[in-house]
Amino acid sequence: MKSSLVCLFALAAVSLQAAADLSKPIEVLRAVQKEGQGNEAAGKAWQEIVKADAATLPEVLKGMNGANPLAENWLRTAVGVIADEALKAKKLPVPALVAFLKDTQNSPGARVVAFDLIHRADEKLAEELTPTLLEDPSADLRRHPVAKLIEAGDVALEKKDNAAAIVAYGKGLGGARDEDQIKVLAKKLRGLGQKVDLPKHFGFLMSWKMIAPFSNADRAGFDTVYPPEKELKFDAVYEGKTKEAKWVDFTSTDEYGKIDFNKPFGMEKSVVGYAATDFFSTEDRPAEIRIGCKDGWKVWLNGELLFARDEYHRGAKLDQYKLPCQLKKGKNTILVKCCQNEQTEQWTVEWEFQLRVCDATGTAIVAAK
C-alpha cells in the first residue's frame, strides 16, 4: 500500500513536472513575431514540446488561444507530431479533446485541430459531434454539419419529401458561412420554390453614395489625395478627369453586392472613384470589413485607413481581403477608393467592388437601421 502510494505520488510529480515544463516552451512559441523574431528560441522550445506525452495535447492546443498566426503554426505542428505518435500507440486523449472542442472559448483554429484529431481517432464519435457544430464560432467546423444537412436534404428529395428537404437545406443555409456551400444551398432552395436573400445572408452593403471620375493617369491617382479623402460633402462638385465629379446615389441589384462604377459613370479608364456609406452598429464591437476587388483600392472606417492595395486585374472573389476593425455604437462611415487602370483588354473592364460587414466567423452583422 505504502509503495503504491509512493508510486502514485511519483507519477503525479512527474506529470506535474511535465505540465510545468511545457508552459515555458509554449510561451516561447507564442512569443514569435514578424520577420523571424523568436525563431531560434522557438526551434528549441518546439523540440521540448514534441517530446511530451499525449496527455499534454489539450495544454498545447490551449497555447493557440490568442496566439498570432505564426505561433499557431508552431503549436499546430507540435500538436501534429505528438498526435501522430499517440494515434500509433492508441493513446490519444479523446475525452480531453472532446472537452477542448466543446469549450467555445478556445480559439477556432485550435478547436479545428482538436476535431480533426477526434475524427482520426474515432470517426463515429466525430460524426456524433458534427450536428453540434452548426452554429460554431469556427466557419471551418460549421462546414461539417452543413455538408450533412445537404446530404440529408438530397436524401429527402430522392424520397420526394420536398418539405423535409426544404427544412434540411434551410437549416444548412442558416449555418453555412462558406460561399461554396451557400451557393449550393441557395440553388437547391430556389429549385424548391424558396426565396433566398443572399445579400442579407452575406451582409453586403448595397446602397452607397458614389463619385467619379478623378484621374488615375500613370496610376498616380492611387496615392493622390482627392477631396473625398478630406471631406464628405455630398452636395459638392469637383473638377474631374473628363467631366465634373459629383456624388450620386447608387443601390446595387447584384446579389453578390457588386458596386459597379461603370454603371453610373460609364466605362472610363485611368480613373479613380469613391463610394461612401454609413453602417449603424447596435454596439461597440470588433468586426471585419471584407472586400473583394480587382482594381486598386483603399478602405477607410470613420476616417481611419484600414488597408490599401495597388494590384490591378489579377482577379477578385468574395472575402478576398479581410480587414479587422472596431465598430462604434451608432453611425460608422465607410469610404472606399476604387482605382481603374489604363489596360484595355476585355477582362479589365471591371471597375467595382463588393463589401460586407461581418464577424470573424463570416456571420453578417445586422445594421441597426
70 contributes a contact to other proteins by CB under 8 A = yes
Does residue 351 contact residue 261 with C-beta atoms inside 8 Å? yes
367 contributes a contact to other proteins by CB under 8 A = no
Residue (62 or 294) nearer to other proteins, CB:
294
The total number of residues written for the chain in this structure:
369
Total number of residues that touch other proteins (CB under 8 A) = 42
Chain centroid offset of residue 258 CA:
19
Site for other proteins in 21-60 (CB under 8 A): 32, 34-37, 39-40, 42-43, 46-47, 50
69 contributes a contact to other proteins by CB under 8 A = yes
- The DSSP annotation for 228-283 comes to GGT---TT-EE--SSS-EEEEEEE---TT--EETHHHH-S-SSEEEEEEEEEEESS
Cα separation, 276 vs 232, in Å, equals 8
151 contributes a contact to other proteins by CB under 8 A = no
- The DSSP annotation for 7-33 comes to HHHHHHHHHHHHHHHHHHHHHHHHT--
State the nearest-atom distance from the C-beta of 331 to other proteins, in Å: 28
315 contributes a contact to other proteins by CB under 8 A = yes
Site for other proteins in 124-143 (CB under 8 A): 140, 143
Does residue 281 contact residue 328 with C-beta atoms inside 8 Å? yes
209 contributes a contact to other proteins by CB under 8 A = no
298 contributes a contact to other proteins by CB under 8 A = no
Q: Provide the H-helix boundaries in 31-129.
A: 39-50, 57-62, 69-88, 94-102, 108-121, 123-129
Which range, of 193-201, 242-250, 252-260, 302-310, touches other proteins by CB under 8 A? 302-310
Interface contacts to other proteins, rule CB under 8 A? 32, 34-37, 39-40, 42-43, 46-47, 50, 68-70, 72-74, 76-78, 80-81, 84, 109, 140, 143, 178, 180, 294, 307-312, 314-317, 320-321
